[in-house]
Amino acid sequence: MKIRRLLFAALWILSVVAITNFGGAVSYGFFFGMTMIPVISLIYMACVYFQFKIYQEIGSRTMVCGQPESYFFVLQNESYFAFTSVSVRLFSDFSSVEELPGDTEYELLPGDRFTFETRIMCKYRGEYEVGVKEVLVTDFLRLFRVRYANPGTIKALVNPKVVRLTELKRVED
């Protein structure tokens, strides 16, 4: 991403040098194009930020430590244009999600949706957030990245695992 930014900055500086030394329609067109690319990219990022939807649900808010619970989330595009390079980050400190491809970037066409049905397992007892932590959106040229927290996080109440003993044994002296 840094290399792309440096390359873009070098091309923009080259367009300014071309305007200064040569002028003409081609130089001004090149400069205008290089100046408008980040503006269009930021407008695209704003549209994705305000129109992207993510829904998630857990089987039960009250869970038992170490036992998997059903979990699903949906990435949905309700806009009129396509979204590219959308990725999801999960809360991974206290819980783990089974069968989820990690660091995958999704492309959503208009009206498209990805549904992931899987299982989630909490590692420790207590009350904490599980599921989707944040969504990362990268623009089409990979110049900018927006990271925003999921507004609909799920808080799970995790009870300790109870092991029932049928008979008590003592240590022989």
Mean pLDDT in order along the chain per 10 residues (173 residues): 88 91 89 92 87 86 89 86 85 81 80 88 88 87 86 87 73 63
Q: Return the pLDDT at 73.
A: 87
Strands 154-159 and 106-108, sheet pairing = unpaired
Q: Return the pLDDT at 167.
A: 67
Contact between residue 131 and residue 56 where contact means Cβ atoms under 8 Å apart: yes
Q: Return the pLDDT at 39.
A: 92
Q: Return the pLDDT at 168.
A: 65
Q: What is the pTM of this model?
A: 0.74
